[in-house]
Amino acid sequence: MSAEIVIRRESPDQPEVAALLGALDGYLASLYPPEANHILDVQALLAPDVGFFVAREGGQLVGTGAVRRMAGEPASGGVSYGEVKRMMVDPARRGRGIGARLLQALEDSLRAEGITLALLETGRDQAEAVRLYERCGYSRRTAFGGYPDNGLSVFYGKRL
């Protein structure tokens, strides 16, 4: 029987988190050229405008996710938003709803801050991520946040 999954805010500068984010970076590098990877490094994840969350099972790290609070811009209709970043679930633990629960925790943290819009950019070749976001109510939209519409990225949004 599996241990309970616990999701909470933690610091991204832990060695085990760095290892999981490194695995994510390697995966993204295998799919896209460097200029198409829009990665927040650990220093950026430590910024005060970022909430970083981990999922643990029996104390073991099984997933990560972050939200970056962003000011309104023309592409968001002038509405401030939270940008979903650094979503990763250990491949051996996928298919158990951990990603959806992480995403829910990120959305809940945005709602608690009065933010009513979540946006994200992901890669077109990340089929698991695309399925997760669509299952969780995200809709395709146009580029935002200065991201290039390069044909490799897909953009999603959700009203919270």
Condensed to tens digits (0 to 9), the pLDDT of residues 101-150 reads: 999 999 999 999 999 999 999 999 999 999 999 999 999 999 999 998 99
Q: For the chain, how far is it from start to end, CA to CA, in angstroms?
A: 34
- Band (pLDDT 50/70/90 cuts) for residue 2 is low
DSSP character for 46? T
Which domains does the chain show, CATH number per domain?
5-159 (3.40.630.30)
What is the mean predicted confidence (pLDDT) over 5-22?
94
State whether residue 140 is helix, strand or coil.
Answer: strand
- How far apart CA 63 and CA 89 sit, in angstroms, is 4
Radius of gyration (Cα) for the chain, nearest Å? 15
Residue with tokens 């799919």: 31
> Quick one: tokens of 160?
């919270």
- pLDDT at residue 12 in the model: 96
